[in-house]
Structure 1
């Protein structure tokens, strides 16, 4: 029976493959900003925040008061796509002013990149 001769790798050198470094690129977080709003009632703004962000009433009141007193409040921070969704959810709510029946637009809200560390 024929045997396959043993081939020696002696004298054969192979270059090691270079190690590829992988870097995970983290996307910057985005803030959802509630803007001060003199058109909508404070109660309506609190209700919108509770529904759109699933936060407790106490937290929604704190956000609303911060926006009322300082002009704006960061109400949520996270990935850009989710921030866009939160913004859209907030903007789906509209209030009808009781004094004159006027339908008001959405609560003032924007998104922007969160400041770096």
Structure 2
């Protein structure tokens, strides 16, 4: 009588190989929060607001203030859509610049998809 032929047994996958197969990368679209220029807010206001809302250092906030003044807009943060929307609302709720009497409200911001 012939001995039964056994099918080859595959070794279980190495732990690292199994993790690679089980892990999927999820791409979360990124959005820019863009501060828009106006003539009703001082550099001091912009620097203060960028520090309070975004946590930017005074030197980084100053560079952004110069950029928005010269170019009409500046990217102040790149993040996911939900957080970008929240940051936009925070900019627009920050309030008027008390240093400029004609200032009646906050600066404006918008969000745009970041190019990949």
Q: TM-score, normalised by structure 2?
A: 0.72
Partners of 1:54 and 1:32 in 2: CA distance: 14
Q: How does 1:64-103 map to 2 (within 5 A)?
A: 64-98=65-99, 101-102=101-102
- CA shift for structure 1 position 56: 0.6
Flag the 1:59–1:98 CA change in 2: closer, same or farther, 3 A. Answer: closer
Measured against aligned partners, the alpha-carbon deviations of 1:35-86 in whole angstroms (never above 9, x if no partner) come to 1121111111111111000111111111111011011110100101111111
Bigger Rg, which one = 1
Q: Corresponding residue for 1:107?
A: 107
- SS of 2:94's partner is coil
Tell me if the contact between 2:40 and 2:102 (Cα under 8 Å) persists in the aligned partners: no
- SS of 1:73's partner is strand
Measured against aligned partners, the alpha-carbon deviations of 1:94-115 in whole angstroms (never above 9, x if no partner) come to 125556x445221121111112
**1 or 2, which has the higher helix percentage?**
2
Mark the runs of 5 or more structure 2 residues left unpaired by the alignment.
1-21
Q: TM-score, normalised by structure 1?
A: 0.71
